[in-house]
Structure 1
Amino acid sequence: MNVTSCEKKDNKTAELSVTVTAEEFDVALEESYKKNRGQIAIPGFRKGKAPRKLIEKMYGASVFYNDALDMILPAVCSHGISEENLRTVGYPQILDVNVAEDNSVTVKYSVDLYPEATVKDYKGLRAVREPVSIEDSAVDSELAAMQLKSARIQTADRPAANGDTVIIDFEGFIDGVPFEGGKAEDYELALGSNTFIPGFEEKLNGVQAGEERDLDLVFPENYQEDLAGKAVVFKVKVKEVKEKILPDLDDEFAKDVSEFDTLEEYKASIRENLLKERQTSADKAFEEAVFQKLAEVVEADIPESMINSYIDNQLSNMSQQLSVYGMDIATYFNMLGTNEAGFRDSMRPSAENQIKISLGLEKVAELENLEPTEEEIEGFFKETAEKYGTDVETVKSGIDRDSAVYELKMQAASKFVVEHAVAEEPKEDEAKDDKAEEAAEEAPAPKKTRKSTKAKAETAETGEAEAEAPTKKTTRRKKAAEETPKDE
């Protein structure tokens, strides 16, 4: 093979011409012949036994051309890119293929070039860093949660109240007719957990063991289609009322639930752990804010193929995560009221932003000469092996050295940018909003009681089960888009 021309156009694309010798093309033709001869019938020969020259004479010299060209085109494109030392993204686009009389082949194709980024003022990027503190109420909330977890459950000889658990049999009727999924026996329902449709739990407040009640209710309008908005009567029989007996918050409690001898020591440990968690969260938020500022100072012409490649990778990850829940991505799009085209459009701003961050970090690594040492490279392979419970050689066989070097350079660039950023205090209004959010997070959520194994009452529960959107993992330190074709 020989590259006969390479023309770059505005540093965005390149057009290449590569000539394949007749001998090289003949090798591909022979492979095509061996692959397809069993499907070709020639009078006087059993299938697969006719000579290639006879087949070409009967069906034309070009009978194996298309298949042979499909075989060699990937190597042709890869050869041109390698010989011209081009860094590309996406897939090559074939512009023209010409087979000469001497059976040499000329292939003309175009490739998108990896964008050259410029980054200005990447030192001293300014971003808000939230101050970290732990209020007494946060510690109290953790204590209350542990106290609730350690509570004893016992039968209550009194009317049921919010927070109690009632053991019930029930059956639902619409216009006097029972409906599928509306019946259960020995169901454990925590009053106040909002597990069932509105009004169900509230109307059980005050019931006692042995009591039977008819609950006149209406399914919510946003319930499943065949039941939404319909009046329903649930006939309920209460078998038992259970209450939680909370332990006293004292030194004995601390000894029972922790490694500490006193309640004060336990509370101090809770505060320390909360502080670490909140500090980690604040550091992460600051880092993300710095990277967003970095994206804003990156200038680059990002090829459409690079954006599409990034979105393709995200959709592939999303599809794999959804499959864990037994859902395909088309169903997920339908739940969101969109389709793949619409969803891809919604992902474009995020894709462009993440690509800019990656391009910016690559440029910082280049400008600051952030090259990993041999020791760091070996350490990367060792850490990866430990993480996945395998040996170093196995990791090296699956991750090439260039990928390891790239990952380490991106890590170093990330650290450099963050360490040279300027932390700003939040504005007063923002600080108030953050405190309100923290308070909301610290408030204990109603606890849902696990269903009895006999319970078969999916349709009596509030609303329909909603599939959680898969987390989109956009690892900043990975390449913004795979290079082609050598990385394909």
Structure 2
Amino acid sequence: MSLTASKKIDTNLMELEISVPAEEFKAAVDRSYRKNAPSITIPGFRKGKAPRHMIEKMYGEGVFFEDAVNELYPSAYEAAAKEAGITPVDRADIEILEVGKDGFSFKATVTVKPEVEVEGYKGIEAEKVEYTVTDEDVDAEIAKLQKRAGTTISVEDRPAQMGDNVVFDFEGFIDGVAFEGGKGEEFPLTLGSNQFIPGFEEQIAGHAIGEDFDVNVSFPENYHVDELKGKPAVFKCKIHQIKAVELPELDDEFAKDVSEFETLEALKADLKSKLQEKKDLEANDELENKLVDAVIAGMKADIPACMYERKIDEMVQDFAYRLQMQGLNLETYMQYTGSTVESFRETFKEQAEHQVKVRLALEKIAELENLTATEEDLEEQFKKAAEVYGMELEKIKELLPADEISKDIAVNKAIDFVRENAVAPKAKKKTTRKSTAKKAKVEEEAAE
């Protein structure tokens, strides 16, 4: 292969002219003959037994050229792009120029990675907020554990309350006429789960088993069924069962039942430690987001639209895969949500554009600061991947492209570089709104 010419024909658009010599082409033509000959029939010869010169005489000298060209041009194009020092970001348009026994030549027109400028990425001023875990935060986690450890009991001596699980019948009417999809029998519902439209579940509370009652609500203006948007409705309801969750006492026995700790205080201390770790990570993420936003603000690049579209493609594929893991598919999901392909893709547009910009900016910083992946870095990433996927290290190395992993490592080093060179004001403490209110109340009482 030889790159015979390369030129920029538009912003981020390059044209390459590439030739493949006779020797390489002849070998590919020979392979094409051996592959296709068994299926070729020539009069006077058994199927697959006709001599090559007879096949070429009957079908033309170039009978195997197309197959040979298709075999060779992808690798020839890839080598030419590398020689030209360009990074394609989209599929190339290929135009065959000449084909003959002396080889072939073709033209590749391709969108390339844009030129990027980044300024001001050193010394960015960004505040890191430190979050402090409060007793209220810990109590909220304890309440979650208490609820999970609760037992469900049947209730017959009182009306339903918020938080109860009820089984009930309902039928909806608009202007006295029942509407499609508004009826259910022996439907299970946790009051307060917000499974139904606003105001519905609160009106079930207060009614007893066997009681007939009405629920009066209005459908939201943004409801997914057009005919029901903003319409007032009356639901005829009847409760068949009420079940409540009986919560365990919060004591040392509770701690033993729900954890490896012997006392409630030890459980609380562990929860507080883990919550603090989580909040510290959140603080780091917030700081990183501020730094990245500042980096993007100092970036200049004419980014081709195809880069955004490819990122959206990746995000849609990832979403479809996660749906598949839940036993669903993307088509059904879009039907359920009333989405079109275009409107669904639009939901990823802003995030996709942000991710593309971040990646380009950090790649440029890595280039400017000569931040690269070492052999030790690569080996560590391969080991982590092997652990995650439960595969042998050598198999992982065969499956995962080292070049792409190296790029990811360099990008991570770039954000570390930006963070290490940032200038942050003195961190301030931040507690939850609840604890701040509590402090204000104490100060008020002290003043009295």
How far apart, CA to CA, are the structure 2 residues paired with 1:75 and 1:151? 63
Corresponding residue for residue 402 of structure 1:
403
Corresponding residue for residue 125 of structure 1:
124
1:307-346 CA-partner distances (Å, limit 9, x unpaired): 4433333333233233334222585388364433x65566
Corresponding residue for residue 25 of structure 1:
25
Corresponding residue for residue 467 of structure 1:
none
User: Are 1:330 and 1:339, in contact at CA under 8 Å, matched by a contact in 2?
Assistant: no
- Residues 28 and 415 of structure 1: CA distance in aligned 2, closer, same or farther (over 3 Å): same
Name the stretch that deviates more: 259-268 or 361-370: 259-268
Corresponding residue for residue 311 of structure 1:
312
Listed as ranges, the matches of 1:199-214 within 5 Å are 201-202=201-202, 204-208=204-208, 211-213=210-212
Listed as ranges, the matches of 1:209-288 within 5 Å are 211-213=210-212, 215=214, 220=219, 222=223, 234=236, 236=238, 238-239=240-241, 241-260=242-261, 262-288=263-289
- Residues 335 and 436 of structure 1: CA distance in aligned 2, closer, same or farther (over 3 Å): farther
Listed as ranges, the matches of 1:332-351 within 5 Å are 332=334, 335=337, 337-340=339-342, 347=348, 349-351=350-352
How far apart, CA to CA, are the structure 2 residues paired with 1:387 and 1:309? 26
CA deviation after TM superposition for structure 1 residue 147, in Å: 3.3
Corresponding residue for residue 377 of structure 2:
376
SS of the residue aligned with 1:88?
Answer: coil
User: Are 1:191 and 1:205, in contact at CA under 8 Å, matched by a contact in 2?
Assistant: yes
Amino acid at match of 1:414: I
Corresponding residue for residue 50 of structure 1:
50
Number of paired residues?
Answer: 430
Amino acid at match of 2:89: V
Considering Cα pairs closer than 8 Å and 6+ residues apart, tell me whether 1 or 2 has the greater RCO.
1
- Residues 216 and 285 of structure 1: CA distance in aligned 2, closer, same or farther (over 3 Å): closer
Corresponding residue for residue 419 of structure 1:
420
How far apart, CA to CA, are the structure 1 residues paired with 2:224 and 2:8? 59
How far apart, CA to CA, are the structure 1 residues paired with 2:10 and 2:197? 62
Identity within the alignment, %? 35
CA deviation after TM superposition for structure 1 residue 292, in Å: 1.8
Corresponding residue for residue 476 of structure 1:
none
- Residues 131 and 159 of structure 1: CA distance in aligned 2, closer, same or farther (over 3 Å): same
SS of the residue aligned with 2:403?
Answer: helix
1:95-124 CA-partner distances (Å, limit 9, x unpaired): 442125x54322222344433433222111
How far apart, CA to CA, are the structure 2 residues paired with 1:355 and 1:297? 15
CA deviation after TM superposition for structure 1 residue 284, in Å: 0.9
- Residues 335 and 34 of structure 1: CA distance in aligned 2, closer, same or farther (over 3 Å): farther
* Unmatched tracts of structure 1, length 5 or more: 440-488
User: Are 1:318 and 1:329, in contact at CA under 8 Å, matched by a contact in 2?
Assistant: no
User: Are 1:7 and 1:14, in contact at CA under 8 Å, matched by a contact in 2?
Assistant: yes
Name the stretch that deviates more: 142-151 or 163-172: 163-172
Corresponding residue for residue 76 of structure 1:
76
Amino acid at match of 1:419: E
Amino acid at match of 1:98: E
How far apart, CA to CA, are the structure 2 residues paired with 1:305 and 1:152? 55
Amino acid at match of 2:59: Y
How far apart, CA to CA, are the structure 2 residues paired with 1:142 and 1:121? 42
Amino acid at match of 1:60: G
How far apart, CA to CA, are the structure 2 residues paired with 1:176 and 1:113? 61
CA deviation after TM superposition for structure 1 residue 181, in Å: 9.3
How far apart, CA to CA, are the structure 2 residues paired with 1:198 and 1:408? 47
1:424-464 CA-partner distances (Å, limit 9, x unpaired): 57999xx8xx966999xxxxxxxxxxxxxxxxxxxxxxxxx
Corresponding residue for residue 114 of structure 2:
115
1:346-401 CA-partner distances (Å, limit 9, x unpaired): 65554443233223222332333334443333223222222222222112222344
TM-score (norm 2): 0.77
- Residues 106 and 224 of structure 1: CA distance in aligned 2, closer, same or farther (over 3 Å): closer
Corresponding residue for residue 365 of structure 1:
366
1:213-250 CA-partner distances (Å, limit 9, x unpaired): 254667847476899869676563535x4444444445
CA deviation after TM superposition for structure 1 residue 287, in Å: 0.9
- Residues 31 and 412 of structure 1: CA distance in aligned 2, closer, same or farther (over 3 Å): same
How far apart, CA to CA, are the structure 1 residues paired with 2:177 and 2:312? 52
Name the stretch that deviates more: 67-76 or 290-299: 67-76
User: Are 1:370 and 1:412, in contact at CA under 8 Å, matched by a contact in 2?
Assistant: yes
How far apart, CA to CA, are the structure 1 residues paired with 2:200 and 2:316? 40
- Residues 172 and 12 of structure 1: CA distance in aligned 2, closer, same or farther (over 3 Å): closer
Q: Which has the higher helix share?
A: 2
Corresponding residue for residue 456 of structure 1:
none
How far apart, CA to CA, are the structure 2 residues paired with 1:37 and 1:437? 81
User: Are 1:39 and 1:48, in contact at CA under 8 Å, matched by a contact in 2?
Assistant: yes
